Amino acid sequence: MDMEKLKQWMEMAQKYQSGNFWDVIFDQDSNTDEQNNQTYRRESQANPPLNRFPLTDIYLTDTQVIVIIELPGFQKEDVQVSLSGNKLLIKGVSKIPIMTGTPFLNERKYGEFERLIELPEPTERKDIQAKFENGLLFVTYTRRYTQHEHIPIL
């Protein structure tokens, strides 16, 4: 199979997976591949895969890395955080708040969870601060590599 056709097929398959497949197919304004790719990127960022729990945002400032982890309904005692190089491990247990009755609608996930988050820059345990507030876990640390350093070529 021609590599260009395979690439086109993969792009089409990705659009189908984003849940916006038919909109893209029938969209008369999307005349270029670049427009379609931008649409897909916006869709995939707005609708993260369902297996990504807890949802996470990572921000870089001039001096800090800020990781925000969404843990609605959790207490800080239900969550554990550990670090290995540039990998942050978040794990915990979600307990059913009501033990009686038969579920009529059950969309929330209960039980153990674990997510390994790759950090943009490595750090050490002693440099990390974690704060739990209103169902959000804030993990911050100071950036070590805030600017490029010139390396002479010999």
Q: State in words which class domain 56-98+109-142 has.
A: mainly beta
Domain ranges of the chain: 3-46, 56-98+109-142
The pTM of the full predicted model, rounded to 2 decimals, is 0.61
pLDDT tens, N- to C-terminus, the chain (154 residues): 577 777 776 776 665 555 555 555 555 454 455 554 454 444 445 554 455 789 999 999 989 999 999 998 888 999 999 999 899 999 999 887 777 888 888 888 788 999 999 999 989 899 999 999 999 999 999 988 656 677 889 8
Distances (CA, A) of 117 to 14, 31, 64, 94, 150: 23, 36, 17, 19, 30
Q: Which amino acid is at 68?
A: I
